Amino acid sequence: MDRATKEQVAAELHEKLKAAKIAIIAGYSGMTVAKLTDLRNELRKVEAELRVIKNTLMRIASQGTDYVKLEDHLKGPLALIMNSGDVVEPAKVLTAFARKNAELDIRYGVLQGRLLDREQLSALAELPSREVLLGKLLSVMIGVQTGLVNVLAGVPRKFVQTLAAYQMKKEQEQQA
């Protein structure tokens, strides 16, 4: 690669890193091209991107971003996984793929300026997806409203029941 191409690649990678919510680096030594392609396809389904990167280009591209924290961990052949959408899904895909393929070595990630190690990334992968969390939040919000409606409707309901009981008592007294 000539210098102009390297500068262009670094600039492009810098822009993608600025837009990314999470970036994860993983070693891929010993993986076949077919397995790497499978991983790329799985990550595309969750709108994440896997790029094989040169460490020096990553160091240059990460300057001025939160991902500069990965600099000390850029050793050996690495793949960079970036996502600007849901941060849980790429971690889930990577963790599941690493369980099946020992060659994939998830090393570090950066999420909102915090450096995450392998265990923290695994914990992130175990979280429910954004849609599930939003569904739970919605059910809680609806439950509160339903409870409020039941409480507010309870007062007139009790009043009507009391009037009905009083009416029945008066009718029984008239019959007797």
Which of these, 12, 90, 94, lies nearest to 57 by C-alpha position?
Answer: 12
82 forms beta bridges with 23, 49
- The per-residue pLDDT for 45 is 92
- What whole-number distance in Å separates Cα of residue 72 and Cα of residue 100? 28
- The per-residue pLDDT for 107 is 92
pLDDT along the chain (176 residues), means of 10: 85 90 91 92 92 90 89 90 88 92 91 90 85 86 82 85 89 84
- The per-residue pLDDT for 133 is 83
Token pair, residue 44, equals 């595309």
Contacts of residue 140, defined as CB under 8 A and 6 or more positions apart, other chains included, come to: none
Q: Express each pLDDT in 6-25 by its tens digit.
A: 888 888 999 999 989 999 99
Token pair, residue 72, equals 């000390």
State the Cα angle at 61 between 56 and 64, rounded to 5°: 125
Q: Give Cα 98 distance to the centre of its chain.
A: 18
Q: Express each pLDDT in 106-115 by its tens digit.
A: 999 999 889 9
Neighbours of 131 (CB within 10 A): 9
- The per-residue pLDDT for 23 is 92
- The per-residue pLDDT for 136 is 87
pTM of the model: 0.73
